[in-house]
Amino acid sequence: MSEMVDAPDGPSSRPPSRWLLPAFVAFILLAFLGTRGMNEPDEGRYSEIGREMAAGDSWLVPHLNGIGHFQKPPLIYWLTALALKVCGQNEWGVRLPSALAAAGTIWFTFLIGRTLFSRAVAVTAALVLVSGFEFFMLARTLTPDMTMAFWITAAILCFVRAAHTEGGRPWNWLFFVAMGGGFFTKGPMGFVVPLAAALSWQWTARGTAQRARLPWVPGLLVALAIGLSWFVVLSLQNPELRSYFVGDELVKRFASKAHGRSKPPWFFLPVLLGGWLPWTCFLPAVLVTAWRRWRQPERLQPWQALLLGWTAIPFVILSLSGSKLLTYILPLFPALALGLAYWLHAHAGSKPALFGRRLAFGCLFLPPVALGVLHMVRPELELSFWVPLLLAGLLFALAVAIRRAPTGQPAQAFNLIAIGAALLWVAMSTQVDALNPLLSRQASVRELAQSARAFAGPDGGCFVYEARTCGFGFYLQRLIGISRSEADIVLKPTAEQELRLLDTPADCARLAPSGKPVCGLILSQELGTSFSTNEWRELGRAGQFVLIGRTNN
Q: In the prediction, which pLDDT does 6 show?
A: 44
Task: Give the mean model confidence (pLDDT) for residues 178-203.
Answer: 95
552: pLDDT strictly greater than 80: no
468: pLDDT strictly greater than 50: yes
Q: H or E element: which one contains 546? A: strand 545-551
What CA dihedral angle connects 369, 372, 378 and 383, to 10 degrees? 130
When mean pLDDT is compared over 204-218, 378-392, 404-418, the highest value belongs to 204-218
Q: In the prediction, which pLDDT does 116 show?
A: 97
CB-side exposure of 419: number of CA atoms within 13 Å?
17
Task: Cite the DSSP H helix spans in 90-170.
Answer: 91-116, 119-131, 133-139, 145-163
SS3 456: helix
Closest among 336, 431, 308 to 378, alpha carbons compared? 431
Q: Place 17 in a pLDDT band, splitting at 50, 70 and 90.
A: low
Burial 219-228 (b: 16+ CB within 10 A, else e): bbebbbebbb
Mean pLDDT is lowest, of 136-145, 152-161, 233-242, for 233-242
Q: Place 15 in a pLDDT band, splitting at 50, 70 and 90.
A: very low
Q: In sequence order, which residues have a C-beta less than 8 Å from that of residue 493 and are 6 or more positions away?
A: 67, 501
Q: In angstroms, rounded to a whole number, what is the distance separating the alpha carbons of residues 476 and 453?
A: 7
Closest among 374, 389, 395 to 278, alpha carbons compared? 395
Q: Place 288 in a pLDDT band, splitting at 50, 70 and 90.
A: confident
Burial 47-74 (b: 16+ CB within 10 A, else e): bbbbbbbbeeeeeebbbbbbbbbbbbbb
Q: Place 8 in a pLDDT band, splitting at 50, 70 and 90.
A: very low
Q: Place 257 in a pLDDT band, splitting at 50, 70 and 90.
A: low
What percent of the chain has a predicted confidence (pLDDT) above 70? 93
Q: In angstroms, rounded to a whole number, what is the distance separating the alpha carbons of residues 446 and 498?
A: 27
Q: In angstroms, rounded to a whole number, what is the distance separating the alpha carbons of residues 270 and 276?
A: 10
Q: In angstroms, rounded to a whole number, what is the distance separating the alpha carbons of residues 164 and 212?
A: 8
Q: Place 3 in a pLDDT band, splitting at 50, 70 and 90.
A: very low
Q: In the prediction, which pLDDT does 94 show?
A: 96
539: pLDDT strictly greater than 50: yes
142 in Cβ contact with 46 (< 8 Å) = yes
Closest among 91, 72, 79, 37 to 54, alpha carbons compared? 79
Mean pLDDT for the chain overall: 89
279 in Cβ contact with 360 (< 8 Å) = yes
Cα 359 to the center of its chain, rounded Å = 26
Q: Are strands 537-542 and 545-551 parallel, antiparallel or unpaired?
A: antiparallel
Q: In the prediction, which pLDDT does 1 show?
A: 32
Q: Residue 236 is which amino acid?
A: L
Q: In angstroms, rounded to a whole number, what is the distance separating the alpha carbons of residues 91 and 500?
A: 26
Separation of first and last alpha carbons in the chain: 80
Task: Give the mean model confidence (pLDDT) for residues 526-552.
Answer: 93
Q: Residue 73 is which amino acid?
A: P
Q: In the prediction, which pLDDT does 431 show?
A: 92
Task: Cite the DSSP H helix spans in 276-411.
Answer: 283-295, 302-320, 333-346, 351-363, 366-377, 386-403
Q: Place 12 in a pLDDT band, splitting at 50, 70 and 90.
A: very low
7: pLDDT strictly greater than 50: no
Q: What is the per-residue pLDDT across 324-374, written as a single tens digit (0 to 9) for each? A: 889 999 999 999 999 999 999 998 888 888 888 889 888 888 888 888 889
Q: In angstroms, rounded to a whole number, what is the distance separating the alpha carbons of residues 510 and 326?
A: 39
Within 10 angstroms of residue 17's Cβ, the number of other Cβ atoms is 9
Q: In angstroms, rounded to a whole number, what is the distance separating the alpha carbons of residues 318 and 310?
A: 13
Q: In angstroms, rounded to a whole number, what is the distance separating the alpha carbons of residues 291 and 118?
A: 24
59 in Cβ contact with 74 (< 8 Å) = yes
